[in-house]
């Protein structure tokens, strides 16, 4: 597969290349070209030239939509290969990678349909005027994405940006650039003009920062940690770039005593262990109403103990390997902090290997967690669940909102009034009721508070990739 940079529809090698490791086998996976400042500049120039060219600016919107449909089709055709690459690079079970690719296909299809439906308004102003608004592409978009859903999160930005008529420089995470490069390959095959999509793997501190600082980039669409998001927001001020930030989370998953308990326990398990817990919206704080606490924790601990880490290519595996040794160490340091601060370990807690290799961590559950503990307050980004208890609805809501983050939340109850009441009271961008971790291209996703602002997906994402122009015509 392609491992060079994609700039202006050409594959360019670089003097500097770096090695990727398969986190399940600890073996060398590929050697990838690394973009520095010069290569990022070349990619931005290509995106700019495309934006200003007839090939893009004057392309009828429906034709843009057709190109996006074609990308979706090619992604779908190559989905077995893409899923395999994602699993080798990220360590997630193959069935999860297949879901990721299917979602990326759906995302391209969804935004393909929007390309010719971006309209302005006519405005009922006072006086003798005809006044209307136009939606125009915001320009060159720098899309920066993390390693947990490499292809999927890239599609959440690339598809709406292209649909809106923007051009894109995509910087995948340093650890997981392979499916972004496959997406680039597919975009070229689909017939996207040179420069419409450029892909430049490289470290955040150099390639990412160069994109954020570049004067010809109009907007940064970022998904990643809150810390880097804050830096980007400060840095983007110098060139008054538009910025949208999809950041971290510490999402509460609340089980009320009147819930369907088996379903709630399954939901709690999937909420934290899907994607090895390397999920921004992971339900990493489980809030359980006192009356059902003991049963919930017992059932959950049983389930977690059975969820043994396995080879990501084994069809029975439901817990893959952590993405890197570094991330494994971070997770283990949180587990050590949880034990030190007095939470009670009821499942997991240790690193693991499969066939003697890999950066696995057991499915871990802490009971008796309290606000103020690191495992409760900070995003771990691994398969570690902290269980807290609440006495009643008011205390549950207060605990749920006691976080700097506000990305997502879950509510398990059979009481329909309580469900809607609590959904309103929780400060988060997504609330799942009697379900968890569902996504659809039509449903906007993003954060409150330190989880960021702006929305990926849905019609709303298109607002992030367009400027609004008001035109006054004197009559």
The alpha carbon torsion through 219, 225, 226, 229 (nearest 10 deg) reads: -20
Instruction: Pull the structure tokens for residue 51.
Output: 């934006």
Distance CA 262, CA 299 (A): 8
**Dihedral pair phi/psi, residue 427, rounded to 5°:** -90, 90
Residues 451-470 that bind ligand NAD (CB under 6 A): 451-452
- Does residue 280 carry a catalytic annotation? yes
Distance CA 154, CA 157 (A): 5
Closest approach of ligand NAD to the CB of residue 211, in Å:
7
Residues 267-286 that bind ligand NAD (CB under 6 A): 280
Contacting range for ligand NAD; rule: CB under 6 A; set: 64-72, 146-154, 370-378, 460-468:
146-154
Closest approach of ligand NAD to the CB of residue 171, in Å:
6
Which residues contact residue 143 at a Cβ distance below 8 angstroms, ignoring those fewer than 6 apart?
A: 154, 157, 158, 161, 168, 169, 170, 171, 220, 221, 222
The alpha carbon torsion through 191, 196, 200, 201 (nearest 10 deg) reads: -60
Distance CA 269, CA 389 (A): 17
Instruction: Pull the structure tokens for residue 176.
Output: 């997981």
Residue 148 interacts with ligand NAD (CB under 6 A)? yes
Cβ atoms within 10 A of the Cβ of 124, count? 6
- Does residue 10 carry a catalytic annotation? no
Q: Which of 96, 166, 175, 280 is catalytic?
A: 280
Closest approach of ligand NAD to the CB of residue 288, in Å:
23
Facing residues of 244 across strands?
221
Q: Which is nearer to ligand NAD, 187 or 281 (CB)?
A: 281
- Strands 252-255 and 408-412 turn out to be parallel
Closest approach of ligand NAD to the CB of residue 441, in Å:
14
Residue 412 interacts with ligand NAD (CB under 6 A)? no
Phi-psi label, residue 349: left if phi above 0, alpha if psi -120 to 50, beta otherwise: left
The one among 155, 223, 321, 324 contacting ligand NAD by CB under 6 A:
223
Q: Which is nearer to ligand NAD, 66 or 225 (CB)?
A: 225
Q: Which is nearer to ligand NAD, 160 or 447 (CB)?
A: 447
Closest approach of ligand NAD to the CB of residue 32, in Å:
13
The one among 246, 289, 367, 463 contacting ligand NAD by CB under 6 A:
246
Site string for ligand NAD, 159-188 (x = CB under 6 A): ------------x-xx--------------
Q: Which is nearer to ligand NAD, 248 or 349 (CB)?
A: 248
Distance CA 212, CA 141 (A): 10
Which residues lie near ligand NAD (CB under 6 A)? 144-148, 153, 171, 173-174, 204-205, 208-209, 212, 223-225, 228, 231-232, 246-249, 280, 379, 381, 407, 447, 451-452
């Amino acid at each position: 597969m392609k491992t060079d940079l994609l700039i202006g529809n050409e594959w360019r090698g670089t003097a500097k290349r770096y090695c990727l490791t398969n986190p399940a086998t600890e073996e060398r996976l590929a050697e990838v070209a690394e973009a520095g400042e010069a290569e990022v500049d070349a990619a931005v120039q290509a995106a700019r030239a495309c934006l200003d060219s007839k090939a893009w600016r004057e392309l009828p919107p429906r034709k843009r939509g057709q190109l996006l449909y074609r990308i979706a089709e090619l992604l779908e055709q190559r989905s077995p290969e893409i899923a395999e690459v994602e699993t080798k690079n990220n360590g997630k079970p193959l069935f999860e990678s297949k879901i990721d690719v299917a979602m990326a296909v759906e995302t391209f299809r969804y935004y393909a349909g929007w390309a010719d439906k971006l309209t302005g308004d006519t405005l009922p102003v006072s006086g003798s005027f005809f006044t209307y608004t136009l939606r125009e592409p915001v320009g060159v978009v720098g899309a920066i994405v993390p390693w947990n859903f490499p292809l999927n999160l890239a599609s959440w930005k690339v598809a709406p940006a292209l649909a809106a008529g923007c051009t894109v420089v995509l910087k995948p995470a340093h650890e997981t650039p392979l499916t972004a490069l496959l997406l680039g390959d597919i975009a070229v095959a689909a017939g996207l003009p040179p420069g419409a999509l450029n892909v430049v793997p490289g470290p955040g501190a150099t390639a990412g920062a160069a994109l954020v600082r570049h004067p010809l980039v109009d907007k940064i669409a970022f998904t990643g940690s809150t810390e880097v998001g804050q830096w980007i927001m400060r840095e983007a001020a110098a060139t008054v770039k538009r910025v949208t930030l999809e950041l971290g989370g510490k999402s509460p998953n609340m089980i009320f005593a009147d819930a369907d308990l088996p379903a709630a326990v399954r939901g709690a398990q999937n909420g934290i262990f899907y994607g090895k817990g390397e999920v921004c919206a992971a339900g990493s704080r489980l809030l359980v109403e006192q009356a059902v606490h003991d049963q919930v924790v017992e059932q959950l601990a049983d389930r977690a103990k059975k969820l043994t880490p396995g080879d990501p290519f084994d069809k029975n595996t439901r817990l893959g390997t952590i993405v890197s040794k570094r991330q494994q160490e971070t997770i283990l340091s949180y587990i050590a902090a949880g034990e030190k601060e007095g939470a009670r370990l009821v499942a997991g807690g240790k690193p693991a290997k499969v066939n003697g290799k890999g950066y696995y961590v057991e499915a871990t559950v802490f009971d008796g967690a309290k606000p103020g503990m690191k495992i409760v307050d900070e995003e771990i980004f691994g398969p570690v669940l902290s269980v807290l208890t609440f006495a009643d609805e008011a205390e549950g809501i207060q605990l749920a909102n006691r976080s700097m983050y506000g990305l997502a939340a879950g509510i398990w109850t059979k009481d329909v009034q309580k469900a809607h009441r609590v959904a309103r009271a929780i400060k988060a961008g997504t609330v799942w009721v009697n379900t968890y971790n569902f996504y659809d291209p039509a449903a906007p996703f993003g954060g409150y508070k330190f989880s960021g602002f702006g929305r990926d997906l849905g019609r709303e994402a298109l607002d992030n990739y367009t400027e609004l122009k008001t035109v006054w015509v004197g009559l």
